[in-house]
Amino acid sequence: SAADDSATSQLVPSKGSDEMAHSTSNASVKCMKIIVSKALN
């Protein structure tokens, strides 16, 4: 069923969403480093 398909896709994310999550977390880390360095300066 459609519900089963959507549940499966949530359990097994596609490569695209995986890469998006990875790049998003990388951006978050860069932002945190900038914020921390500004706070220290």
Contact 21, 13 (CB under 8 A): yes
5-41 pLDDT per residue, tens: 665 556 565 666 667 676 778 888 898 999 999 999 8
Contact 10, 18 (CB under 8 A): no
| Rg value, the chain, Cα | 17
- As a whole number of angstroms, the distance between CA 31 and CA 26 comes to 9
- As a whole number of angstroms, the distance between CA 41 and CA 26 comes to 23
Q: Sorting pLDDT into bands at 50, 70 and 90, what band is 2?
A: low
What is the identity of the amino acid at 12?
V
Domain ranges across the chain: 15-41
